[in-house]
Structure 1
Amino acid sequence: MDLKRTFAALPWWVKWVAIPLVALFVFGGLIANIVGFIVGLLFKVLLFVALVGGLVYVVRKFISSGT
């Protein structure tokens, strides 16, 4: 049987509710790990940018006050 015909024969709730829930159950840990990695990486990038910006600000203030 063709896969398209198989899915066409299923009720709407199986296609739009049951299958995504099964996929979430099976791949939920993987999805959570990927999202956690991306959020952690974004946090580290933002922290790096803030620290470098603060360092540049302090150095400019120190250089301009010394002259």
Structure 2
Amino acid sequence: MQEIFAGLPWWVKWVAVPIIALFVFGSLIATVVTIVIGLLFKLLIFVALVGGLIYIVRKFISGSSSRSDW
């Protein structure tokens, strides 16, 4: 790979090739990033809902056991 870029100017390696790669694979990269962000958001929502459910159940159980002690 280094032999291919050996005689070319620096801007071809660091500017032109990444721009061409983004042009060719841009929609694929955007799709992958969107899927990953969507999964992370859904995971965050899931963790928050499960944590809230556990909090509510523990609060309800501890409250009902203290009332039955009377």
The question of a shared fold, defined as TM-score above 0.5 by the shorter chain, is answered with yes
TM-score normalised by length of structure 1? 0.92
Correspondence for 1:42:
40
- 5+ unaligned residues in a row in structure 2: which ranges? 66-70
| Stretches of 4+ aligned residues off by more than 3 angstroms | none
The separation in 1 between residues aligned to 2:50 and 2:12, in whole angstroms, is 51
> Pairwise CA RMSD of aligned residues?
0.9
TM-score by length of 2: 0.89
Identity %: 66
CA radius of gyration, larger in: 2
Q: Deviations over 1:5-59 (max 9, x none)?
A: 2311110001100000000000000000000000000000010000000000000
* Residue 22 of structure 2, aligned match among 21, 24, 35: 24
The number of aligned residues is 65
Aligned residue in 2 for 1:63: 61
Q: SS of the counterpart of 1:9?
A: coil
